[in-house]
Amino acid sequence: MEHLLTKAETLTEALPWIKRAWGKTVVIKYGGAAMNDPGLRDMVASDVVLMKLMGMNPVIVHGGGPEITQYMERLGMEVRFVDGLRVTDEAAMEVVKMVLVGKVNKELVAAINAHGRLAVGISGDDANLIRARQVSPELGRVGEVAEVDTTVVINLIEDGFVPVIASVGAGDGGSFNINADLVAGELATALGSEKVIFLTDVDGLYADFDDKGSLISRLSLTEAKKALAGGLSSGMIPKVRACVDALDAGVHRAHILNGTVPHALLLEVYTDEGVGTMITHDAEPAEAALL
């Protein structure tokens, strides 16, 4: 009986968060180990389905860098990075689209649709959702977000679907490879999302990365901007930058979570304490009744 009461208490704790989340849009950037491990992928998919069934409008954005590298190496293609960005010539761009749009996207859609007719996979190319511009000639077909047209995403949400979006965009001369963190932040802004969530391989931001007891559970927008000025690992910079830009543009909250923690999405959204790092607007009090 005691364990049943514990389950009932958990559901009771979630109730106010479910009420606040009802009808709200949340953009989830899916990546890290949670993408590569089939068991973790299925767990994330089930969390997304539960969020949808409890009244939220989840929108998934994903990349797939490690798998792109694996396929390029199998094809005997050179893998080269400049300042953390993959040099993407025309041949590499074909592999990027093959992996992101043809493989990773469809695997995630299938994992969600194992629970019902719920998800539709698209890319930034579709309906000109993401218009891209070239970052630099040296990087080839690496782009940044120039414009977002949310029409196709809104239509999918209104029809009851979970949009699953591969992080490529349309631009001059064809498709561009775009950092998925930046796509998630820009899309959250364009949709007027309640929040944007980044699933990664670490628990969140640390005051001292070597001290795992120094996890920062809550950070103000000003503090996040200071962190960007120095002290962040290179892998965290795009995520925190995307968080900062999204909040500056009106998104209410941003979260960085460890996708390897079982049900991290549900714990962050529907419990009092959460499990990662949350970035909020400066004027928001700790006890604010937002998500």
- Residue 248 belongs to domain with CATH number: 3.40.1160.10
Asked whether residue 43 is assigned to any structural domain, the reply reads yes
Q: What angle do CA 55, 198, 19 make, to 5 degrees?
A: 20
Instruction: Express each pLDDT in 223-232 by its tens digit.
Output: 989 888 876 7
pLDDT at 51 over 60: yes
pLDDT at 40 over 80: yes
Helix/strand/coil for 59: strand
Whole domain around residue 124: which residue ranges? 25-280
Mean pLDDT, the chain, whole residue set = 88
List CB contacts of 174: < 8 A, sequence separation 6 or more: 93, 141
Give the dihedral of Cα atoms 281, 152, 257, 88; nearest 10 deg: -110
**Cβ(249)–Cβ(189) below 8 Å:** yes
Q: CA 44 to CA 46: how far, in whole Å?
A: 5
Q: CA 254 to CA 70: how far, in whole Å?
A: 31
Asked whether residue 288 is assigned to any structural domain, the reply reads no
CA atoms within 13 A on the CB side of 177: 25
Q: Return the H-helix or E-strand segment holding 14.
A: helix 2-21
pLDDT in the model for residue 32: 76
Tally the domains of the chain.
1
Asked whether residue 4 is assigned to any structural domain, the reply reads no
pLDDT at 8 over 60: yes
Asked whether residue 166 is assigned to any structural domain, the reply reads yes
Asked whether residue 125 is assigned to any structural domain, the reply reads yes
Asked whether residue 174 is assigned to any structural domain, the reply reads yes
Instruction: Express each pLDDT in 91-116 by its tens digit.
Output: 999 999 999 999 999 999 999 999 99
Instruction: Express each pLDDT in 101-157 by its tens digit.
Output: 999 999 999 999 999 999 999 999 999 999 999 999 999 999 999 999 999 999 999
Asked whether residue 108 is assigned to any structural domain, the reply reads yes
Asked whether residue 38 is assigned to any structural domain, the reply reads yes
**Cβ(291)–Cβ(195) below 8 Å:** yes
**Nearest partner of 251 among 291, 290, 191, 193, judged by Cα:** 193
**Cβ(143)–Cβ(135) below 8 Å:** yes
pTM: 0.89
